[in-house]
Amino acid sequence: MVTDAYDQLSAQGFLITRVKATPLVGAVARPPAPATARPPAPPPRFDLSPSTPEIALFPARDWTEALVGAIRAAPVSALGYGSPRGEPALREVLADHLGRTRGVVADPERIVILNGAAQGVILLAHALSGAGATRVAVEDPSLVSQPHRLRMSGLEVAGQPVDAEGVTLDGLAADAVLVTPAHQFPTGAVLSGPRRRDLLTWARQHDALIVEDDYDAEFRYDREPVPALQGLDPDRVAYLGTASKTLAPALRLGWLLLPALAGEAEAVKHLLDVCSPALEQLALARLLTSGA
């Protein structure tokens, strides 16, 4: 019995045993800290970085209740590998929510749940390039990492200037254009009515896809949020959304709604990370259903 216990502790690395030697407590090997390592900088008193919401306001109690409720209610099968498209329960309530709050025309079957909207750009880029696209335009300026995500699939990326009415259209030539109509990132401009119409006309005339990044659309302090562009032409506009602003970036929950190529995006999602975490998806579905 005692030797079994020693064997067990030794197998788990807690003890180092040698024949006829005193057992020693095992130490965990760690690489030596680099000589130049500096102590971490203290967090800033005011964090004004443009892409982070006020995370101190995260509704921790509501989220915890939703997560616990989701775990209690979930069938055992929810703990297996889920659909790359996402949990049906979330896609269903999200379609309603987006229709109500953003004027989005959403078929739950065309929604892919993501690990953040950032992942949606990668899925779209792969799906577009697989379908023969070669050139994509992005707003200039834009989130600096977006062009890099698009280039991962070998797409050529062109910057399209932005003015006070949002993205400009002069010289726009691409198979798809990634835009932030509700709240241009980082300038904050709203895509004007005439520009919206012209952008949709351009897309129809050039058989191009508009990718609407609706990141940040929920928060406006100067006017009512404008409805999503997607609602004006659901066949021309792919829609990207995220919980990073309304809840927290750490959740890594986003969604992509596609007029076409949903199967291709799903296949890439499966290759990348199989599916997004199911319990968090179910918790978000509960928050949306309860209204919390």
Residue 213 binds ligand PLP, judged by CB under 6 A: yes
Dig out the tokens for 170 from the structure: 């002069």
Residue 110 burial by Cβ neighbours in a 10 Å radius (0-12, 13-18, 19+): buried
Residue 201 binds ligand PLP, judged by CB under 6 A: no
Dig out the tokens for 8 from the structure: 């067990």
Tell me the DSSP string of 235-250: TTEEEEEESTTTT-GG
Residue 242 binds ligand PLP, judged by CB under 6 A: yes
Nearer to ligand PLP, 106 or 240 (CB): 240
Q: Which residues pair with 158 in a beta bridge?
A: 137
Nearer to ligand PLP, 110 or 183 (CB): 183
CB 138 within 8 A of CB 178: yes
Of the candidate spans 87-95, 111-119, 192-200, 202-210, the one that interacts with ligand PLP by CB under 6 A turns out to be 111-119
Residue 116 binds ligand PLP, judged by CB under 6 A: yes
Nearer to ligand PLP, 10 or 246 (CB): 246
Residue 143 binds ligand PLP, judged by CB under 6 A: yes
Q: Which residues contact 160 (CB under 8 A, 6 or more apart)?
A: 137, 138, 139, 140, 167, 168, 169, 172, 174, 177
129, 153, 160, 180: which one binds ligand PLP (CB under 6 A): 180
CB 257 within 8 A of CB 110: yes
CA angle 229, 233, 237 (to 5 degrees): 65
CB 215 within 8 A of CB 241: yes
**Which helix (H) or strand (E) covers residue 255, if one does?**
strand 254-257
Residue 181 binds ligand PLP, judged by CB under 6 A: no
Nearer to ligand PLP, 175 or 213 (CB): 213
Residue 256 binds ligand PLP, judged by CB under 6 A: no
Query: Beta-strand (E) ranges in 98-182?
Result: 111-114, 135-140, 156-163, 166-167, 176-179
- Report the nearest approach of ligand PLP to the CB of residue 275 (Å): 17
Q: How many residues bind ligand PLP (CB under 6 A)?
A: 13
Nearer to ligand PLP, 19 or 148 (CB): 148
Of the candidate spans 37-45, 100-108, 231-239, 241-249, the one that interacts with ligand PLP by CB under 6 A turns out to be 241-249
93, 111, 176, 185: which one binds ligand PLP (CB under 6 A): 185
x-marked contacts with ligand PLP along 38-57 as a string, rule CB under 6 A: -------------x------
Nearer to ligand PLP, 153 or 180 (CB): 180
Tell me the DSSP string of 37-100: PPPPPPPPSS---TT---GGG--HHHHHHHHHHHHHHS-GGGGS---TT--HHHHHHHHHHHHH
Residue 86 binds ligand PLP, judged by CB under 6 A: no
Residue 281 binds ligand PLP, judged by CB under 6 A: no
244, 258, 269, 284: which one binds ligand PLP (CB under 6 A): 244
The binding site for ligand PLP (CB under 6 A) comprises: 51, 116-118, 143, 180, 185, 213, 215, 242, 244, 249, 254
